[in-house]
Amino acid sequence: MDTIKTCISCGMPMKTPSEFAGGDTEKDYCVHCAHSDGSMKSFEEQKASLTQFIIKTQGLDRAVAENAAIAMMKKLPAWAEYLT
């Protein structure tokens, strides 16, 4: 695969089929933003997932991490209707 797509849900660059939801390079979101059936996580599920990721990787407390997750999500196309 020569093209790199960016996940519309979390912003992760997706380079190989294994990084796409369900291994489907036609999807616009990554494996981390998908359920096992390949469907995209809901806004609330993604917010919780990103909050946990920020807590784990940056050691921030929950409230600060959730605010950071929301700030990140505001910049992503999948969540435009939720965060205007």
The predicted structure's pLDDT at residue 29 = 97
d(CA 79, CA 84): 9
The predicted structure's pLDDT at residue 84 = 66
The predicted structure's pLDDT at residue 2 = 60
Beta strands in 12-80 (DSSP E): 13-14
d(CA 53, CA 69): 9
The predicted structure's pLDDT at residue 82 = 84
How many C-beta neighbours within 10 Å does residue 60 have? 16
Q: And the tokens for 44?
A: 């609330």
Q: 7, 44 in Cβ contact below 8 A?
A: no
pLDDT tens by residue, the chain, 84 residues: 567 899 999 999 999 999 999 999 999 999 999 999 999 999 999 999 999 999 999 999 999 999 999 999 999 999 988 876
pTM of full prediction above 0.95? no
The predicted structure's pLDDT at residue 83 = 78
How many C-beta neighbours within 10 Å does residue 78 have? 19
